[in-house]
Structure 1
């Protein structure tokens, strides 16, 4: 006689689901930071999100995320320039994504001290907290601006660093600190160096929202700076996916490395304007505004990415073409509620 399996095999009761991994994010209220928070939650993480303290208790772009996303997010008001704020944010996290930074290049000509305080000292505070609290992974954010105008293309991670603005110099300073902490203390840091990211929620200090925002507001004569520089534009969701890739990859594949994230394509600002005009079915006249032109030796004329090392280490590749990403960005700005958040008549520094 065959004995029923139930008589010989003890019944098993499924155990509790594993707790979601906690990820801490600085700069979470910003453009890329808010997209990263969404991506982390979608991947099953619980997120502790630092928003720069302000008396309005504004959570920035996090306030626009769906409720089901925000239910998995703990918002912490603080400041990366304050070590205590940073320690409280990262304690107990499995991974820290450091995106907090001052980013506007034109404003860095006016207020370079503030860039050093946030982008260098702030990064130092994050590194110290990760080191002493023994956090398993830190993803530090760099920028393609640290390369300056391309000397060879596409730009690999071996390209010389050539900082042509105070902003770029401050970011390179943070990068060097990250490298030194890995070399000196074994801090488990990986540096992601995104090229130009664009998409919904981006500030109008950047060229794509500047063009789309002005056209969405009904203008057909728009003001810009130099139309000659070329850039490698990556859609925001793809950049967020790159952060998640280096934050979750095996340590041996990424820790201690700097990895570029970009599409490998380039387009001039002038051709970009023409493409946006075509997608928005608008005849566009461009007027050059001298306020928007960088000093001659500070303008970065060409940036195009080689992301081969990131792809080999993590499998990451962009999922959106430039046309697809622009179409989704145009849709965002054409929503009156979104457009109302922007001051399309002002030069956004």
Structure 2
């Protein structure tokens, strides 16, 4: 039995699709709350249970009923910008939600034999500001986040380690770097590909609004991340932490050029100061060699392929 929390998010939806190819629907339990995706797109591919992880009894009931042997803990408020507007909700979901999951496992273990593997979706946002000379970042880099979301991910990360060190609950931490793909919202690739298709369809004038053009990101395809999560559930070491990052860095202006090439339409590019974040890392790029060494993982999708598939997704949705 497999449990995915946060199944109503982009990563969770792709994980469900991958697992549904190999597992029976009734063996994949997918909890969700306030989905950010269209749930109809994954309808019938798992057993869905609405669960607000901020409340312990909800989480305990879920774990007690299904007793999953593998748990992918993806449930989160995952937008840095929103975390400035809703810091309390971000901390409750990401930190208390994680504590609730481990406490549910801990309580069930007092009643019966239960020893699941828990793969926890942590974040590169935990690292915060990193200079050009420090990238790619390794797992032993200091964690000095720039926003409440990053703070919540540090706490989630350390809770996972602590429940392993103290209670022997097999938590595996994955510090996920920028990841995108179809169904993603709220990141640079999602925003730009969405606006590009709006231009293609004539819904908005042919001017692509962008934020900071110089920021650079190593952007991982969600399908490669799903492969990493599944491999870590099988081969990752409990208590350990692994970076999951793409292996090439792109500036925003390079992403715009990829979109132009894929779309084949002329349009202007305008910088909109309103799209700049309050605090933002100039470069985000992780060293994934530990993950690769432990599991044999290697990214298969380049950014041009990811952008192509995102453009097609928005084309069909609009």
TM-score (norm 1): 0.82
- 2:309 aligned residue: 328
Shift of 1:60: 4.5
Alignment partner, residue 79 of structure 1: 52
Asked whether the equivalents of residues 34 and 61 of structure 1 are also in contact (C-alpha less than 8 Å), the reply is: no
Question: How far is the alpha carbon of 1:59 from its aligned partner?
Answer: 9.4
Alignment of 1:132-281 (within 5 A): 132-133=107-108, 134-151=114-131, 152-203=134-185, 205-218=186-199, 219=204, 220-249=206-235, 253-281=236-264
Q: SS of 2:156's equivalent?
A: helix
Q: Structure 1 residues 209 and 87 mapped into 2: Cα distance closer, same or farther (>3 Å)?
A: same
Where in structure 1 are there 5+ consecutive unaligned residues? 1-21, 340-349
The corresponding residue for 1:12 is none
Between the aligned partners of 2:43 and 2:223, the Cα distance in structure 1 is 16
Secondary structure, in 3 states, of the residue corresponding to 1:49? Answer: strand
Alignment match of 1:116 (pick from 69, 75, 91): 91
Per-residue deviation at 1:135? 3.6
Tell me how far apart the structure 1 counterparts of residues 107 and 127 of structure 2 sit (CA, whole Å). 31
Runs in 1 of length 4+ with deviation above 3 angstroms? Answer: 58-62
CA contact (8 A) 1:277 1:283 kept: yes
Q: Distance in 1 between matches of 2:232 and 2:39?
A: 23
Maintained 8 Å contact 1:39/1:244: no
**3-state SS of 1:231 partner:** strand
Calculate the aligned-residue CA RMSD, in Å: 1.7
Question: Do the aligned residues in 2 keep the contact of 1:146 with 1:169 (CA within 8 Å)?
Answer: yes
How far 1:149 sits from its partner (Å)?
2.7
Distance 2:265 2:190 in 1: 15
CA distance in 2, matches of 1:107, 1:66: 28
Counterpart pick for 2:75 among 90, 100, 106: 100
Tell me, yes or no, if the aligned pair for 1:143 and 1:171 is still in contact at 8 Å: yes
Cα displacement (A) at 1:327: 1.4
- The 2-side partners of 1:333 and 1:314 are apart by 33
1:309 aligns with 2:309: no
Q: How many residues align?
A: 302
* SS across alignment from 2:230: helix
The higher radius of gyration belongs to 1
Deviation at 1:131, TM superposition (A): 2.6
Residues 113-150 of structure 1: CA deviation (Å, up to 9, x unaligned): 11111111111101112233334200111111111232
Deviation at 1:222, TM superposition (A): 2.1
Q: Which residues of structure 2 form unaligned runs of 5+?
A: 109-113
